[in-house]
Amino acid sequence: MIELVDVSLKYNNETTALNHINLKVDDGEFAFIVGSSGAGKSSIIKLLLRERVASAGKVFVNGYDLSKIKRRKIPEFRRSLGVVFQDFRLIPTLNVYDNIAFSLRVTNASNKYIRARVPYILELMGLTEKAKRFPHEISGGEQQRVSLGRALVNDPPLIIADEPTGNVDPELSYEIVELLKGINACGTTILMVTHEHDIVRYFGGRTISIEHGEVVFDDYIGGHDEE
Ligand code: ADP
Ligand code: ADP
C-alpha cells in the first residue's frame, strides 16, 4: 500500500528534510504520523502525493513506483487516493454538493451514479442539510467534513489526511478522527499526519514518530478504551 525504502529528501541539494526513512503501511491499517514542526511530516506527504521526488530511495504507493512513474500517469495515480488537507481546499464557487460531485465528474462517472453516490456521502458526513451551501457559508468543521466527503466519494483504497484537525475546534477534531476511524473500519487504509499528541494518545494505534527527518518511533500505543 505505502512503502518507503531508505528514502532521503534534500531541498536545493542542501537541507536534508528526510534522512534514510523506512516505513511500511499495509492494506487496511490506520497509522498516525506525528512529529514537531520541521520534523519532516509535510515532506513525507509531498513524496506520497508525488509532489516531490525522493533524492534517494524508493517510494511505493498503491502499486505505483513513484521514482519511476511517467508524468502522464501522475493524474491517474493521484485519483487512486483520497487526500484531506488542513486548509480544506474546497472550490469556493461550488456548493457542498458540487464540491463532492466534482471528484466524480473528473473521473467521467455517469450522472446516474453521481446522483446516487453524492447524496449517500452527504448523509454519511451529516451534510445533507448543507448541500446547497457554499464553503464560506458553513463552519470550519463542516468544511472539513466536505473535504473528507470529497476524498471518500471515489471509494479510494487509501486516504492521506494532512493535519485534518488543524483548522477545526478541538471538540470537532475528535469527531473528524472518529469519521476517519469509521472509514478505516470499512476497509480503507488511512494515514493521518498530525502534531496534536492529545489526539494520538486518545485514539492510540500505530504511531510513527518523525524527528529531524528520521523515524524515531514506530509502534502501537494504547488508546483511551484500553486504559
Ligand atoms: P513538518 O511538516 O514536520 O513541519 P517539513 O517537512 O515541512 O516539516 O520540513 C522538514 C525540513 O525541511 C525543515 O527543516 C524545513 O525547514 C525544510 N523544508 C521544508 N520545505 C522546504 C523547502 N521548500 N525548501 C527548503 N527547505 C524546506
Ligand atoms: P460547528 O458545528 O462546526 O461548531 P458552528 O457552531 O460554527 O458550527 O455553526 C453552527 C451552524 O451555523 C452550522 O450548522 C453552520 O452551517 C451555520 N454557520 C456557521 N457559519 C456560518 C456562516 N458563515 N454562514 C451561514 N451559516 C453558518
- The best mutation among 125, 138, 146, 171 to test binding of ligand 2, ranked by most ligand atoms within 8 Å of the C-beta, falls on 138
Rounded to the nearest angstrom, the distance between the alpha carbon of 38 and the centre of ligand 1 is 5
Which residue in 138, 194, 188 sits closest to 164, CA to CA?
194
Q: Which atom of ligand 2 is nearest to 142's Cα?
A: 3
Report which secondary-structure segment, H or E, holds 42. helix 41-48
Report which secondary-structure segment, H or E, holds 190. strand 189-194
What is the percent of the chain where pLDDT is above 70? Answer: 99
**Is 129's C-beta closer than 6 angstroms to any atom of ligand 2?**
no
Domain positions in the chain: 1-80+157-227, 90-155
- Rounded-to-integer distance, Cα 33 and Cα 35, Å: 7
pLDDT of 171 above 90:
no
Q: Are 47 and 210 in contact (CB under 8 A)?
A: no
Rounded to the nearest angstrom, the distance between the alpha carbon of 95 and the centre of ligand 2 is 15
Confidence of residue 227 (pLDDT cuts 50, 70, 90): very low
81-85 and 64-65 strand pairing: unpaired
pLDDT of 184 above 90:
yes
- Rounded-to-integer distance, Cα 226 and Cα 75, Å: 41
Point out the ligand nearest to the CA of residue 12: 1
The pLDDT of 126-140, averaged and rounded, is 97
- The best mutation among 88, 129, 139 to test binding of ligand 2, ranked by most ligand atoms within 8 Å of the C-beta, falls on 139
- The best mutation among 11, 191, 192 to test binding of ligand 1, ranked by most ligand atoms within 8 Å of the C-beta, falls on 11
Q: Which atom of ligand 2 is nearest to 137's Cα?
A: 24
Q: Are 196 and 173 in contact (CB under 8 A)?
A: yes
pLDDT digits (tens, 9 = 90+) for 80-127: 999 999 999 999 999 999 999 999 999 989 999 999 999 999 999 999
> Could you say which architecture CATH assigns to the domain 1-80+157-227?
3-Layer(aba) Sandwich (3.40)
Global pTM reads 0.88
pLDDT digits (tens, 9 = 90+) for 197-225: 999 999 999 999 999 999 999 999 998 85
- Rounded-to-integer distance, Cα 220 and Cα 4, Å: 19
pLDDT of res. 66: 98
Query: How high is the ipTM of this complex?
Result: 0.73
- Rounded-to-integer distance, Cα 109 and Cα 173, Å: 32
In this structure, the residue with its CA closest to atom 16 of ligand 2 is: 138
Sign of the torsion formed by the C-alpha atoms of 140, 49, 210 and 1: positive
